[in-house]
Structure 1
């Protein structure tokens, strides 16, 4: 039985220090993205069940939380579960990402939006994950998307804005790995895989970092034995370069590791992206070509991205172009590309900067201090720009001051009876 005082499994409470670090990170991300011309929107956390299961969310659809129709009785749910059609009892669901709500939002509000719409969307999403380190059932996503721009400008803007956000958060050593789905499909075709097997083959190639080239080849034999042998030769050639310093995002470097003429359209796209990004990224962020990058979502149609950081065992961001997705709602094709920062992973890699403004002050007061005097002192310090907390004096002052310091306060002042002016207070540093 679940512990009644704990949050639901896979979800978390956040103590004040954790919440402060999260809000700092969100503030940095918002500030950078707004500076790059993106506008923030908000969508409901709930979407129609049919929309969430329209084939746009890939495997995430299987992890969605459904909301039962009003008035469903326990025995109805039990009978539906036994019959294997509990879905008919749900008409709504919690969003499992921010992309599906964005495409619905754009289709609903297109007449009021500019021809090229640059959006910021930050908020919680829910997935019925098996809880483990770095994976939660409720987590925050921080997305930027550009809808309506078919050219490479969209990718350039997304990469440069996201790179600057990562740098502003103080994350050094980030590598943005880039590929193009057309290169992946071109490689599969070159190696002899029939088109109808491409999606299955990509699912296997996506496991490269877990099972290695030999494991990928062995699994691909179940799809096409001759194709598996050919792609094994390609993977054997590129795996050391990817695992080392990476492959530069230049035409020469890209074509050096690919079979001749395998995917010219994708190669041209990535080499142009590399040229545009040359010298445009902040210090501490690099971009590299990775022909083994797949990204699991099947709706990607062109460029795909993923961000690696030495402090994390998993990606800390990713995205790509999904030109066919908006048209599912609108009835006409609209180009779109997005980038999502893995907020829950990056927030564990950063720390709060030291405050450069007025100090946070704790007023440690005796029990006999008049309430009116105490409130007047607090008001005076707040008006000077301080953050102020009132703390009643305790016998164990060492423990009290240690707790105040751990809560982010920089100084304290003892308040005795009769003190009525903030100028009479002696601010003493904590942790000295």
Structure 2
């Protein structure tokens, strides 16, 4: 976890403002959910490895003797951890959204488009670009089982990156049902598929040889590994910057399920229609079909996707369809799909200038200027500036005047004026800081 200094905080808020307003123009409404959720919800088997990284909150009212007693039980049975904890910090925004929708469905439209922006917590191993508290920016559509929902999310997210100056992004897309069908067609048994998917997810890191070697080391079905290896090493003509039924079928074994293929094709057609400035036809849309895209969250039931940009080798976001989650809370199935931007990675790539219309002024005053005069100067300047855009800060003059101005510039201020005793409010001369 980390502290964020004023200049960085201002920059982060400008990026968030662009994302938030872009999503609102696409018809999404912002909601807010608590940082804490019930332990049972956070550990319901839907969050994949993130459940292991959750911060749990100790039950209130436990004395030392009770904690020691339960602690001894935990030593014998790890699943007794819930006896110590009944709440936890959210590790993503999807589980809280599912609970929110189940609790408030009667007050929401039939198809609900949600924006959620807020911090989440995971007990990660700290490293560059990976924090234990970090911001997520999510949009979700609940109540729509058609390809329109995925297309709306993708168009809005691609538009958001364009608005941040990161044109040229693409979305890698797959379907968890495709993965299940492929593994079945190769001959992998149902109980070994979770571990096989963990290995397949490393394809871009260790390559086909590494995948085959690891599958054999794991003891997966030998004949299935042979079939999978043969598929990986088949001769094929790669088609880049193209997305359509022909390209999807070429990337899969023969006789892929028509309904899944058509769902993916429908998404491509809708994205092409939603981004006419960048995609004249479905063949040119910024989608790439990747039959080995896995994504580790346990709640995905259909389409899955990741956001890529040519400037970095890692994804800038992702998501998928999780039609089974809300039913766990509501008692009836409700279709849902979401897209999450990786804000901490994204913000480091964005270069946003301060608002050109804003004026941030530092008033550098002598020590002998009366307080009433200082407040009058500040009030007069705020009235002269745009009410929603102006900022004024008072700074006492110091010996190192240059360092004071440099610090003010780093804090986002654009102009300064010097204030001496007896000067009339409104008569100060503003000078640019850069």
The alignment's TM-score, normalised by the length of structure 1, stands at: 0.91
2:47 aligned with 1:57 = yes
Equivalents in 1 of 2:81, 2:333: separation in Å? Answer: 34
Query: Residues 46-70 of structure 1: CA distance to partner in whole angstroms, max 9, x if unpaired?
Result: 1111111111212211111111111
Given the superposition, is the C-alpha separation of residues 112 and 377 from structure 1 closer, same or farther in structure 2, using an over 3 Å criterion? same
2:242 aligned residue: 248
How far apart in 2 are the matches of 1:295 and 1:264?
23
The residue number in structure 2 matching 1:4 is none
Structure 1 position 269, deviation (Å): 1.3
**Is the 1:182–1:263 Cα contact (8 Å) retained in structure 2?**
no
Q: Secondary structure at the match of 1:326?
A: helix
Q: What SS does structure 1 have at the residue aligned with 2:91?
A: coil
Give the structure-2-normalised TM-score.
0.91
**CA deviation after TM superposition for structure 1 residue 246, in Å:** 4.3
Q: What CA distance in whole angstroms lies between the structure 1 residues aligned with 2:278 and 2:241? A: 18
Partner of 1:190: 185
Residues 247 and 82 of structure 1, relative CA distance in 2, 3 Å threshold: farther
Q: For residue 77 of structure 2, what is the aligned residue in structure 1?
A: none
The CA distance in 2 between the partners of 1:108 and 1:86, in whole Å, is: 26
Distance (whole Å) between structure 2 residues aligned to residue 22 and residue 280 of structure 1: 28
> Does structure 1 residue 427 correspond to structure 2 residue 422?
no
The 5 A counterparts of 1:232-243 are 232-237=229-234, 241=238
**What is the SS of the residue equivalent to 2:286?**
strand
Distance 1:127 1:358, change over 3 A: closer
1:388 deviation in Å? 0.7
Which residue pairs with 1:161 in the alignment?
156
Deviations 1:57-88 (Å, cap 9, x if unpaired)? Answer: 12211111111111223454345344423331
> Structure 1: which 5+ residue stretches go unaligned?
1-10
Report the Cα offset of residue 15 of structure 1: 0.3
Seen in structure 2, the aligned counterparts of structure 1 residues 168 and 272 have a Cα distance that, compared at 3 Å, is: same
Shift of 1:304: 0.7
Q: Does 1:276 align with 2:254?
A: no
Any conservation in 1 of the 2:120–2:136 contact (CA below 8 Å)? Answer: yes
* Mapped contact 2:91–2:121 kept (Cα < 8 A): yes
Number of the residue aligned with 2:95: 100
Cα distance in 1 between the residues matched to 2:215 and 2:308: 26
Secondary structure of the residue that 2:393 maps to in structure 1? Answer: strand
1:401 equivalenced with 2:405 (yes/no) = yes
What is the SS of the residue equivalent to 2:115?
strand
The corresponding residue for 1:70 is: 60
Query: Residue 148 in 1 paired to residue 151 in 2?
Result: no
Q: What does the per-residue CA deviation read over 1:204-255, in whole Å, with 9 as the maximum and x for residues that have no partner?
A: 11111222221111122221222122222333459995xxx84622111111
Helix, strand or coil: the match of 1:166?
A: helix
Q: Distance in 1 between matches of 2:236 and 2:243?
A: 16
Q: What secondary structure sits across from 2:21 in the alignment?
A: helix
Aligned partners of 1:64 and 1:96 also within 8 Å: yes
Q: Which shifted more, 249-258 or 353-362? A: 353-362
User: Is this contact kept in 1: 2:212–2:225, CA < 8 A?
Assistant: yes
Q: How many residue pairs align between the two structures? A: 417
Aligned to 1:336: 336
Post-superposition Cα deviations, 1:356-386, rounded to whole Å, max 9, x if no partner, equal 2142111111111122221111111111223
1:227 is matched with 224
Cα pair 2:151 2:268 within 8 Å, conserved:
no
CA RMSD of aligned residues (A): 2.0
| Structure 2 portions without partners, runs of 5+ | 75-79, 280-284
Q: Distance in 2 between the 1:75 and 1:130 partners?
A: 32
